[in-house]
Amino acid sequence: MADDFDVIVIGAGPPGENAAGRCADGGLAVALVERELVGGECSYWACIPSKTLIRPGGVLAAARRVPGAAEAVTGRLDAAAAFAQRDYMTSSWNDQGALGWVEDEGIELVRGTGRLDGERTVAVELPDGGRRTLTARRAVVLATGSAPAIPPVPGLAEARPWDNRGATAATEVPGRLVVLGGGPVGCELAQAFRRLGSQEVTVVVRGERLLAREEPFAGAEVRAAFESEGITVRTRTEVASVRRAAHGGPATVSLGDGGELVADELLVATGRRPRTGEVGLDTVGVEAGGPLRVDRRLRVEGVEGGWLFAVGDCNGLAPLTHMGKYQARVAGDVILGRDAADVADHGVIPRVTFTDPQVCAVGPTEAEARRAGVDLKVVRTDTGGVAGAYVQGNGIAGTSQLLVDQARRVVVGATFTGPEVQELLHSATVAVAGQVPLERLWHAVPSFPTVSEVWLRLLETYGL
C-alpha cells in the first residue's frame, strides 16, 4: 500500500527533525523515517553524552583555579555519578520523550530503514520484516548522518575498539586508554576519561599536531594542557598493527617506530564517513558512497526536478550538529517555496572543541584565508589579559584572534582559546555573518568585567 505525503525525511537526528518540523509548521504533510532513535547520534552517542562526561572534570578544574574554592575540592571525581548523569541526559537510550514533539507537530513517524526507490519514492523496511512504500508530492530529504571510519590497520577492527558510541556509552573508566586521532572527538574524550580517572591516556596522531583543522596555536595550547595533566601526546606516529586476544583483555598497539602501547580500551576517532552508500541513490541516477553534492538550496545535484535534498553530515559541507540544523531550516524554507539559500556553510562555520582550554572558531583559519587571496591582517591578544578573566581565577590563559579583510575592513574569521570561552564565539559569528564594518563594531561596547572585553583589546590592537 502506498502512503502519500508532501515531504518524506529519512533520518530523525537533529537535521532530520528540523527539516520535518520546518515543513510541518508550514502546513505540509510530513513523514519522518528512522531506524534507530528519534534524536539521532547527537542526542544519544555524541554531543550530549560526551559533553555531559566532560562537564564534571571541567567544573573541578575551574574550582581549582579559584582560591577559596580550590581548598574545598578535597575528594575525587565520582565517575559512577557522572555515568548516571549521562544516562539521565540520554534517557538511558530511550526516545519516548522525543515522541511527544513529533505527535504535536502532526508528523507521522515511520520506524524502519528507508531508502530511495525511484523518483519521490521511499521504501521502508519495517522492524517486523514488512515493507511500506511512501511517496512524496514535493520533496524527499536525506538526513542520514555519518558513521565512524575505521582505518585499515591490521588487527584494528578485530580488536573491538571503541568508536564514539562505545566511549560515550561506557560504564567503567579504563585504567589505560589509547586514543587514535587528534581531532575534536579524540581530544575531548581523551581529557574527559583522564579526568574521570584513567591512569594512563595516550593520544596517537599521524599528523604534526592536535586539532589540525584549527590554528596551529590552538593545537599547541591543548597539547600543553594535556601534558600538564599527564596525557601523553604522540604526533607524527603511525599505527602498524593492533592485537587483542579473542577472549578479551588488553590491546597491544604496535607503532611504526617499533614501539608498543598497551591499552585496556582503544578509542578510534580518526574521522567519519557520510551514510550514503545504502540509501538507494542508484535508483535516482546519483553515484553513491561519498558525500552528496548539493547546491546553495541544499538540493542534490544531478537529480532532475530538484525534489531531492540532503542536509547534515551526509552532504559533507560541515559535519556539525548546529550546521545540519541550519541546513535543514534552509531546505525546509526552499521546500515551502520561500527564497532561501545556504550562506553559513560558505565561510561562516562556527565550531567549538570542548577541551580545557576550549578552542572556539568561526570562518577560515589564517592559512585558508591567505590561500583564498584575502588581503589579511591578523590581530591577537591574550584571552587571560582582561579583568573578566582575572575574576574567573588564577592561571587563565589562551589566545584571542581576529582575521580582518583589509580591503573591506570586516572580520572574516576568529579564534578564541581558553577555559569556558565558548560564549565568546557567537558575537564573532554575528560579526562575520553580518560583515559588520570595524568602525561600527567599535561601538559594540563589551560589559565590564567580562571576558568579552578581549573584543576591545583586539580592536585597539588593530588600531581603532
Q: What's the average model confidence in pLDDT over 242-257?
A: 93
Predicted confidence at residue 288, as pLDDT, reads 80
Report whether pLDDT(254) > 70: yes
Report whether pLDDT(258) > 60: yes
Amino acid identity at 355:
T
Predicted confidence at residue 2, as pLDDT, reads 60
Residue whose C-alpha cell is 571541567: 58
**Exposed, middle or buried, 283 (CB in 10 Å: 0-12/13-18/19+)?**
middle
The mean predicted confidence, pLDDT, of the chain is 97
pLDDT tier at 164, thresholds 50, 70, 90: very high
77-130 pLDDT tens trace: 999 999 999 999 999 999 999 999 999 999 999 999 999 999 999 999 999 999
Predicted confidence at residue 74, as pLDDT, reads 92
Report whether pLDDT(212) > 90: yes
The length of the chain, given as a count of residues: 464
Rounded to an integer, what distance in angstroms lies between the CA atom of residue 396 and that of residue 11?
A: 42
Query: pTM of the entire structure?
Result: 0.95
Rounded to an integer, what distance in angstroms lies between the CA atom of residue 264 and that of residue 166?
A: 13
| Cis previous bond, 449, omega within 30 | yes
**Exposed, middle or buried, 131 (CB in 10 Å: 0-12/13-18/19+)?**
exposed
Report whether pLDDT(1) > 80: no
For every residue of 289-330, DSSP letters joined together read SSPPPB-TT-BBTT-TTS-EEE-GGGG-S---HHHHHHHHHH
